[in-house]
C-alpha cells in the first residue's frame, strides 16, 4: 500500500512537469505580442544608442576642454605680448604724437633724450643719452617675438616676424645703399601686415575662448587699429596744467 502511494505521488509530479513543458512549448509556438516584440527588438538598439550618444558627448566635452587649453595658450603666449606692445605705443601716439599716423608708422619707436650728470676727479660732466621708453623700440618688438611661442602661431605671423628681424638688420646702419632702401620699403609693408595679423589674431582667440567682450569708452578695437576715443579739450589741458603747477609749487 505504501509503494502505491509513493508511485502515485511521483506520477502526479511527472504530470505537472509535462504540463509545464507543454505550456512553455505552446508559448514558443505562439507569435509574440507587440509589446514583447518591441521589448526584445528595440531595447538592445536603444541601449546601444544610449552608449554611443554618451560616448560622443564625453568625447565632445574632452575635445572642447582640450581646444580651450590650446587656444588659451596661443592667446597668452603668442598674441598677448605682441598686442600689449601695440597698446603701449598707441597710447603714446595718442598723447604725444597724434600726427604720426599708424599707416605711416605702424610700429612706433618711443625714445627720449636724457642728460646724465657725472661727478669725478675732473669735475662735473654732462652726457646726453637716448633711452627707450616703456620698452617701445623695433629691437624690443623683435625681442618680444623671440620669446613668443611661435610653434603655436599662424604661418603668416611666423613668416612676418622672421622677415621683420632680417629687415631690421639690413635697414640698420648709416650707409645709403640700394639694399638698405629695399629693406626699408619692405619693412614698412611688413609692419602694416604685422599690425593686422596681431590685432585680428588677438580678437579671434579672445572670441573663440568666449571671453568677456569689451565695450569701452576709452578705446575701440578695429581690425587694424586700437583707436583712442576720449576727446580732450584745450580748456581741460590748461586747467590740468594749472593743477600740476600748484602741486609742484606746494612741494617746494
Q: Which helix (H) or strand (E) holds 72?
A: helix 34-74
Question: Residue 137 CA to chain centroid, in angstroms?
Answer: 25
Backbone angles phi, psi at 119, to 5 degrees: -115, 125
The β-bridge partners of 126 are 117
Q: What pLDDT shows up at residue 81?
A: 92
Distance CA 109, CA 92 (A): 10
Cell numbers placing 240: 590740468
Alpha-carbon distance of 68 to 65, in angstroms, equals 5
Q: Is-contact 77 149, C-beta < 8 A? A: yes
pLDDT value at position 213?
76
Provide the pLDDT for residue 6.
42
Comparing CA positions, the residue from 133, 130, 66 lying closest to residue 93 is 133
Q: What angle, 0 to 180 degrees and rounded to 10, lies between the N-to-C axes of helices 178-208 and 155-171?
A: 150
What are the angstrom distances between the C-alpha of 2 and each of 6, 11, 12, 13?
6, 14, 16, 17
Spell out the residues 6+ positions from residue 163 whose beta carbon is closer than 8 angstroms to its own: 186, 190
Q: DSSP 3-state helix, strand, coil percentages of the chain (rounded to 5)?
A: 65, 10, 20
What's the pLDDT at 158? 94
What cell does 212 get?
568677456
Q: Classify residue 88 by its DSSP letter.
A: H
Is residue 215 a contact partner of residue 130, using CB atoms and an 8 Å limit?
no
Average pLDDT per block of 10 residues along the chain, 252 residues long: 46 65 58 61 69 69 75 93 92 89 86 73 72 78 87 93 91 86 93 94 90 82 85 89 86 70
Grid cell, residue 5, equals 502511494
Among the listed residues 204, 95, 212, 102, the one whose alpha carbon sits nearest the alpha carbon of residue 153: 204
Amino acid at each position: 500500500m505504501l509503494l502505491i502511494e509513493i508511485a502515485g505521488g511521483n506520477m502526479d509530479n511527472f504530470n505537472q512537469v509535462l504540463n509545464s513543458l507543454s505550456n512553455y512549448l505552446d508559448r514558443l509556438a505562439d507569435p509574440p505580442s507587440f509589446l514583447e516584440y518591441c521589448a526584445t527588438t528595440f531595447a538592445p538598439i536603444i541601449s546601444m544608442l544610449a552608449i554611443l550618444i554618451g560616448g560622443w558627448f564625453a568625447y565632445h566635452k574632452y575635445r572642447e576642454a582640450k581646444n580651450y587649453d590650446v587656444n588659451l595658450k596661443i592667446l597668452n603666449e603668442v598674441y598677448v605680448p605682441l598686442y600689449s606692445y601695440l597698446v603701449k605705443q598707441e597710447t603714446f601716439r595718442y598723447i604725444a604724437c597724434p600726427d604720426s599716423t599708424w599707416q605711416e608708422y605702424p610700429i612706433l619707436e618711443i625714445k627720449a633724450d636724457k642728460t646724465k650728470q657725472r661727478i669725478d676727479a675732473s669735475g662735473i660732466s654732462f652726457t646726453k643719452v637716448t633711452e627707450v621708453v616703456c620698452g617701445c623700440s623695433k629691437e624690443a618688438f623683435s625681442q618680444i617675438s623671440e620669446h613668443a611661442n611661435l610653434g603655436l602661431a599662424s604661418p603668416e605671423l611666423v613668416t612676418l616676424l622672421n622677415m621683420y628681424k632680417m629687415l631690421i638688420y639690413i635697414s640698420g646702419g648709416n650707409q645709403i645703399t640700394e639694399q638698405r632702401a629695399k629693406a626699408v620699403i619692405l619693412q614698412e609693408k611688413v609692419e602694416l601686415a604685422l599690425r593686422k595679423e596681431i590685432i585680428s589674431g588677438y580678437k579671434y582667440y579672445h572670441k573663440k575662448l568666449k571671453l568677456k567682450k569689451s565695450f569701452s569708452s576709452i578705446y575701440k578695437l578695429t581690425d587694424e587699429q586700437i583707436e583712442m576715443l576720449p576727446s580732450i579739450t584745450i580748456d581741460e589741458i590748461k586747467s590740468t596744467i594749472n593743477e600740476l603747477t600748484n602741486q609742484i609749487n606746494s612741494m617746494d
